[in-house]
C-alpha cells in the first residue's frame, strides 16, 4: 500500500510537470502566478465535476435500490434536473460539468471554460469568489495548448489517486515548490506540511466549537483539522470555520478547497490584511491554528499604533510581525477557554525588541507550551521553527474527556530538533517529515503534562522536554528558548578517558607495526629485483 502511495505522488507530479511545461512554451500563458492560478482553476473544475458525477451515480443507484427507474422522464425531472446532495456536493448546470468541458472541441475550450465559471458563480453563492471569471478568454491560449492542458488535468482524479486528504493542496504545493527556488522569504508563500498541521491539531484537539486561522493560505489547516475531527469524533458539523487571507489568489484557493470538502466556512467577503482590516473583529474563537509568514516585515501601518489588540501589552515592533501575530491571535481567543497553536520563527523566543510583550505574556500566564521543531520540515524554508501554544485557561478542568490539573505559572518546553530521521524522497532539496508515531508521542507528552496526577515540578526527560515554573523563566530574563531549561547531557563526561587513550595508543602501535612490516617486505622485494638484474 505504501508503494502505491509513492507511485501515485510520482504520477501526480508527472502530470503537473507536463502541464507546467505546456504552459511554459505556450504563448499568452502569463506570469508564473497566472499559470498557477489557471491550473488551480482547471483542477477545481475537474474535482467539483467529478464529485458531481459521483453524486449523480450514487443517486441513480439509490433510486434503483428503491425500485425506481432513473431513466424514466418523470424521475429524471423530479430527481436529476435540480439534484440536491447532503454531503457537500454541488449541483452543476450542464455547461459547468466536466463531462461537457472534456468533450468540447479544442477551438471552443477557452470560451467553454469561462462559461462554466460564470455559470457556477451565478448559481452558487458559496462557490462565487473561488475563481476569476474570464480567466481563460483573457489568456486565450492556442487551441492545441489549452486542449493538451485540459487532457492532462483530466488524469487527476480521486478515482486514480485515492481519497487524498488534501489533493488540491498537493497541486498547490507542487507549484509552490517550483516557485520556492526563486522566491524571497518576503514574497514567497508558505504551504504548511500535512504532518505539521496534524501535530498542531493533535495537540490542541479542535473537536467542536469555532476554529479560526488569521492567515489561512490555501485552507490546509482547516482540511487537516476536519480529517482529525472525523477520525476522532466523526462529525465535522460540530466545528465552525473562520479565516482570513491577504492574497486574492490564495483566498480563492482556500474557498475552492473548503467548498470541495463541503466544509461550512466564513472567510470574509474579500481578501485583505488581517492587521489593517480584521474581517472578524469582535469575534472570539474556541481554537486558533495558524502558520503566519515568518518574520514578516511589511506589516505595519501608522494607523495601528493605538490598535485595541495591543492595548494591554505594547505596540509590536514595526520591523517584524511575529509579536503582532501573537497579540492578534490572543485578542481573538475566547476568554476563559480558548486555545491556540501557531508557528513562529525561532527568533521570537528571545526577541530583545519585543521583551516587554513577551514578559507580560508570561506573567499573565498565557503561554502554555513551547515546542521547537526540526529543521527542513518546510519546502520553502529550511529554518527550524517553534510551535507556540497559548491557553486562556490553565486551571484544572475537563477537556475533551480528560481531567486537567492546574498548570498555572508553568510552561512546558519541548525540543524535537533531533527528530530528523525521516527524509522525504523525491524532493529537490533536503526535507524531513514527522511520522504519525512521532506526532502521537509529542501529543502524549503534552497531554500527560496537562493531565491530573502529573507532578509538574518533576516532569522532565533530558534532551526532550521539561516543565518549568515562571519564576525560573524570569531568572532567565523571560527567554523562551527551550535549551535554557531542558537538561542536555554532556556525553563527553561518560567517556573513560584512560581506557580511550589506551585504545588509541594500541591502534597507533598496530599501525606503526603494520608500517614496519610493509617496509620490510618492500625492502626484501627491491633486494630481490636487484639480485635478478
The residue extents of the domains of the chain are 2-164, 194-484, 498-533
Please give the Cα distance from 353 to 320 (Å, whole number). 10
**Which pLDDT score is estimated for 126?**
79
Residues paired with residue 466 on neighbouring β-strands, in sequence order = 413, 460
Here the cell at position 377 is: 520540515
Is the domain spanning 194-484 CATH 3.40.50.150? The answer is yes
Q: For residues 137 and 85, is the Cβ–Cβ distance under 8 A?
A: no
Burial class (CB in 10 A: 0-12, 13-18, 19+), 60: middle
**Which pLDDT score is estimated for 285?**
97
Contacts of 117 (CB under 8 A, 6+ apart): 41, 45, 96, 131, 133, 134, 135, 136
Please give the Cα distance from 400 to 105 (Å, whole number). 55
How many CB atoms are closer than 10 A to CB 211? 25
Q: For residues 161 and 249, is the Cβ–Cβ distance under 8 A?
A: no
Return the H-helix or E-strand segment holding 497.
helix 497-532
Please give the Cα distance from 20 to 420 (Å, whole number). 32
Please give the Cα distance from 15 to 43 (Å, whole number). 12
The residue written with cell numbers 499604533 in the block is: 305
State the number of CA atoms in the 13 A half-sphere of 145 facing the CB.
19
Please give the Cα distance from 99 to 117 (Å, whole number). 14
**Which pLDDT score is estimated for 3?**
45
Would you state the CATH architecture of domain 2-164?
A: Up-down Bundle (1.20)
Sheet strands (E) in 267-366: 287-290, 339-345
Please give the Cα distance from 403 to 223 (Å, whole number). 28
The residue written with cell numbers 476563559 in the block is: 336
Rg (CA), the chain: 29
**Could you read off the pLDDT tens digit of each residue along the chain, which spans 533 residues?**
444 444 444 477 788 888 888 988 888 778 877 887 788 889 889 988 988 898 888 888 988 998 988 888 888 888 888 777 766 688 899 999 999 999 999 999 999 999 999 999 898 887 888 888 898 999 899 999 999 999 999 988 766 665 544 566 677 667 656 644 444 333 345 568 888 999 999 999 998 899 999 999 878 788 878 877 777 765 677 789 999 999 888 888 888 878 777 788 899 989 999 999 999 999 999 999 999 988 888 899 999 999 999 999 999 999 999 999 999 999 999 999 999 999 999 999 999 999 999 999 999 999 999 999 998 888 767 777 999 999 999 998 999 889 999 999 999 999 999 998 888 766 666 788 999 999 999 999 999 999 999 999 999 999 999 999 999 999 999 999 999 999 987 545 455 656 766 776 777 777 677 766 666 666 665 566 555 54
Please give the Cα distance from 467 to 147 (Å, whole number). 60
Q: Please choose, from the candidates 11, 383, 3, 17, the residue with its C-alpha nearest in 3D space to the C-alpha of residue 174.
A: 17
**Which pLDDT score is estimated for 174?**
73
Please give the Cα distance from 386 to 119 (Å, whole number). 44
Here the cell at position 353 is: 525588541
Q: For residues 426 and 10, is the Cβ–Cβ distance under 8 A?
A: yes
Contacts of 226 (CB under 8 A, 6+ apart): 236, 239, 261, 263
| Secondary structure of 431-468 in HEC code, one letter for each residue | CECCCHHHHHHHHHHHHHHHECCCCHHHCEECCCEEEE
Q: For residues 500 and 493, is the Cβ–Cβ distance under 8 A?
A: no
CA distances from 526 to 513, 517, 532 (A): 20, 14, 10
Q: Please choose, from the candidates 301, 48, 81, 33, the residue with its C-alpha nearest in 3D space to the C-alpha of residue 183.
A: 33
Q: To 10 degrees, what angle do helices 167-180 and 32-65 make?
A: 170
**Which pLDDT score is estimated for 40?**
83
Q: For residues 462 and 489, is the Cβ–Cβ distance under 8 A?
A: yes
Please give the Cα distance from 401 to 256 (Å, whole number). 34
User: What secondary structure letter does DSSP report for 247?
Assistant: S
Amino acid at each position: 500500500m505504501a508503494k502505491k502511495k509513492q507511485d501515485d505522488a510520482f504520477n501526480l507530479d508527472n502530470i503537473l510537470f507536463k502541464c507546467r511545461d505546456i504552459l511554459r512554451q505556450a504563448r499568452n500563458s502569463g506570469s508564473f502566478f497566472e499559470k498557477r492560478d489557471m491550473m488551480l482553476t482547471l483542477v477545481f473544475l475537474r474535482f467539483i465535476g467529478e464529485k458531481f458525477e459521483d453524486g449523480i451515480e450514487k443517486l441513480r443507484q439509490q433510486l434503483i435500490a428503491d425500485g425506481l427507474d432513473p431513466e424514466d422522464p418523470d424521475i429524471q425531472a423530479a430527481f436529476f434536473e435540480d439534484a440536491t446532495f447532503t454531503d457537500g456536493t454541488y449541483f452543476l448546470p450542464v455547461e459547468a460539468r466536466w463531462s461537457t468541458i472534456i468533450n468540447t472541441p479544442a477551438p471552443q475550450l477557452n470560451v467553454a471554460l469561462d462559461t462554466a465559471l460564470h455559470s457556477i458563480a451565478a448559481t452558487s453563492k458559496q462557490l462565487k469568489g473561488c475563481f476569476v471569471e474570464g480567466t481563460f478568454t483573457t489568456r486565450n491560449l492556442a487551441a492545441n495548448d489549452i486542449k493538451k492542458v485540459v487532457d492532462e488535468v483530466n488524469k487527476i482524479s480521486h478515482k486514480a489517486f485515492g481519497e487524498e486528504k488534501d489533493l488540491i493542496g498537493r497541486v498547490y504545493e507542487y507549484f509552490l515548490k517550483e516557485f520556492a527556488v526563486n522566491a524571497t522569504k518576503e514574497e514567497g508563500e508558505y504551504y504548511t506540511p500535512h504532518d505539521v498541521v496534524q501535530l498542531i491539531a493533535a495537540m490542541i484537539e479542535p473537536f467542536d466549537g469555532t476554529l479560526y486561522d488569521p492567515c489561512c493560505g490555501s485552507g490546509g489547516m482547516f482540511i487537516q483539522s476536519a480529517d482529525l475531527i472525523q477520525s476522532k469524533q466523526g462529525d465535522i458539523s460540530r466545528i465552525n470555520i473562520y479565516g482570513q487571507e491577504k492574497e486574492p489568489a490564495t483566498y480563492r484557493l482556500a474557498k475552492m478547497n473548503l467548498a470541495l470538502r463541503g466544509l461550512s466556512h466564513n472567510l470574509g467577503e474579500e481578501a485583505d490584511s488581517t492587521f489593517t482590516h480584521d474581517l472578524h473583529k469582535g469575534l472570539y474563537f474556541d481554537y486558533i491554528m495558524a502558520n503566519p509568514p515568518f518574520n514578516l516585515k511589511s506589516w505595519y501601518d501608522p494607523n495601528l499604533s493605538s490598535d485595541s489588540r495591543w492595548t494591554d501589552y505594547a505596540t509590536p515592533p514595526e520591523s517584524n510581525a511575529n509579536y503582532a501575530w501573537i497579540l492578534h491571535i490572543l485578542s481573538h481567543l475566547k476568554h476563559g477557554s480558548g486555545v491556540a497553536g501557531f508557528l513562529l520563527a525561532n527568533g521570537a523566543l528571545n526577541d530583545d525588541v519585543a521583551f516587554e510583550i513577551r514578559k507580560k505574556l508570561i506573567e499573565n500566564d498565557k503561554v502554555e507550551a513551547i515546542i521547537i521543531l526540526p529543521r527542513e520540515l518546510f519546502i520553502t524554508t529550511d529554518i527550524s521553527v517553534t510551535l507556540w501554544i497559548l491557553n486562556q485557561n490553565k486551571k484544572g478542568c475537563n477537556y475533551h474527556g480528560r481531567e486537567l490539573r492546574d498548570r498555572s505559572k508553568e510552561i512546558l518546553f519541548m525540543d524535537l530538533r533531533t527528530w530528523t530521521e525521516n527524509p522525504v524522497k523525491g524532493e529537490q532539496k533536503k526535507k524531513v517529515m514527522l511520522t504519525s508515531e512521532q506526532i502521537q508521542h509529542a501529543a502524549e507528552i503534552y497531554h500527560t503534562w496537562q493531565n491530573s496526577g502529573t507532578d509538574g515540578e518533576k516532569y522532565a526527560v533530558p534532551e526532550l522536554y521539561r516543565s518549568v515554573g515562571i519564576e525560573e523563566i524570569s531568572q532567565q530574563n523571560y527567554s523562551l528558548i527551550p535549551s535554557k531549561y531542558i537538561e542536555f547531557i554532556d556525553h563527553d563526561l561518560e567517556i573513560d578517558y584512560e581506557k580511550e587513550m589506551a585504545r588509541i595508543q594500541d591502534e597507533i602501535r598496530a599501525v606503526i607495526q603494520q608500517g614496519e612490516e610493509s617496509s620490510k617486505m618492500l625492502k626484501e622485494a627491491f633486494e630481490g629485483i636487484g639480485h635478478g638484474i
